[in-house]
Amino acid sequence: MDQLAGKVAVITGGGSGLGLALARKLAAEGMALVLADIDEAALAEAAASLPTEVLTARTDVTDYEDLAALATASLERFDRVNLLCNNAGIAAFGGVLEMELAEYRWVMDVDFWGVLHGIKAFLPHLLEHGDGHILNTASVSGFLTQPGLSAYNAAKFGVVALSESLVYELEILESQIGVSVLAPAWVKTRIFDTDRYEQAAASSGKIGERVVPAMRAFAEQGRLTADDVAERTVAGIKEGRFYIFPHKGILKFVGHRHADISEMRNPSVEQGL
Ligand SMILES: NC(=O)c1ccc[n+]([C@@H]2O[C@H](COP(=O)([O-])OP(=O)(O)OC[C@H]3O[C@@H](n4cnc5c(N)ncnc54)[C@H](O)[C@@H]3O)[C@@H](O)[C@H]2O)c1
């Protein structure tokens, strides 16, 4: 989708971090926006800061009915949706034995099911309208695994798999709808600020204690800001790129993993931990 001006984008998790940065960039491109988030105060603040027409809607992506209502409200307000950004996501950290099952379910509910709910709610309209694009936010964690991140890895690998399947299916359906999967490395946002979610448990234990500070440090020291990621993401959408890796340096590690697989070597932890 190379022309964005005058079109409409929906962004889940649009109240903070990468979603809000994407909103700023898409507003600057001349798009009208629908921002969806569980955090209503963040939504109001975001809408007031954006130089475009914005509809906000309190939406919990773990609930399909909320996404269906969001699609209805978006179409009532703007008549069409051209770009769906399934961005809302959370992270939980800790070893497999250190994390509660409930926390695993929460990660899968938001990070995997949230994306599927968005696709199910909006794809029928995109197919009918014919001009559209879906951006699914995975992560580098959808391509590389790390200790202490198994729930997030599983959810984000799921988002990559779902997105790849979708792109093949749209080809079979001879649809012009584009799909991109966004895979940033750690970026400074509120993603580590997990205390604000009632579902999050404090990670404790040897694995969590070792990996969480390292991941926080990656995010703190990362060279790209959320706005840089948004800039590269929008460039990728315009180019019709499926895989969008804003941090090019990480592709070396993705290549190592793929080489381990193709040569049937055991996995090795070498992503700086
Ligand atoms: N920040 C990073 O380092 C990084 C790296 C790779 C991928 N990502 C992904 O980017 C996306 C955005 O994360 P971020 O870093 O901007 O984090 P963030 O915490 O700053 O923003 C996430 C937003 O999602 C909202 N949200 C949380 N649960 C929700 C739910 N159930 N329904 C609707 N909204 C919900 C939050 O209220 C918040 O506004 C996520 O999918 C995340 O996994 C982030």
In this structure, what token pair is assigned to residue 29?
């491109």
CB 141 within 8 A of CB 156: yes
- Cβ of 38 less than 6 Å from ligand 1: yes
How many H helices and E strands in the chain?
Answer: 9, 7
- Cβ of 16 less than 6 Å from ligand 1: yes
In order of 18, 185, 207, 244, 271, the CA distances from 234 in angstroms are 12, 17, 36, 10, 27
- Cβ of 233 less than 6 Å from ligand 1: no
Q: Please list the pLDDT of the chain residue by residue as tens digits (273 residues).
A: 999 999 999 999 999 999 999 999 999 999 999 999 999 999 999 999 999 999 999 999 999 999 999 999 999 999 999 999 999 999 999 999 999 999 999 999 999 999 999 999 999 999 999 989 999 999 999 999 999 999 999 999 999 999 999 999 999 999 999 999 999 999 999 999 998 998 988 767 899 888 888 888 988 998 999 999 999 999 999 999 999 999 999 999 999 999 999 999 998 766 544
- Cβ of 37 less than 6 Å from ligand 1: yes
Q: What is the pLDDT of residue 270?
A: 61
| Residue 101 one-letter amino acid | L
pTM: 0.97
Q: Which CATH class is domain 8-262?
A: alpha beta
Q: Give me the residue spans of the domains in the chain.
A: 8-262
Instruction: List, by residue number, the catalytic residues.
Output: 152
Are β-strands 54-58 and 83-86 bridged in parallel, bridged antiparallel, or unpaired? Answer: unpaired
Q: Return the biggest CA–CA distance within the chain.
A: 53
In this structure, what token pair is assigned to residue 63?
């609930």
Rounded to whole angstroms, the Cα distance separating 103 from 81 reads 33
Rounded to whole angstroms, the Cα distance separating 76 from 80 reads 8
Q: What is the pLDDT of residue 201?
A: 82
145 has which bridge partners? none
CA 249, distance to chain mean position in Å, is 20
Q: What are phi and psi of 94, to 5 degrees?
A: 145, 165
179: which residues sit within 8 A by CB, 6+ positions away? 133, 134, 135, 136, 163, 166, 167, 170, 242
Residue whose token pair is 């978006």: 74
Q: What are phi and psi of 224, to 5 degrees?
A: -90, 135
| Residue 50 one-letter amino acid | L
Q: What is the pLDDT of residue 272?
A: 46
Residue nearest (by alpha carbon) to ligand 1 atom 14: 17
What's the CA-to-centroid distance between 266 and ligand 1, angstroms?
A: 32
Q: What is the pLDDT of residue 218?
A: 86
What's the CA-to-centroid distance between 91 and ligand 1, angstroms?
A: 8
Q: What is the pLDDT of residue 54?
A: 98
Q: What is the pLDDT of residue 273?
A: 47
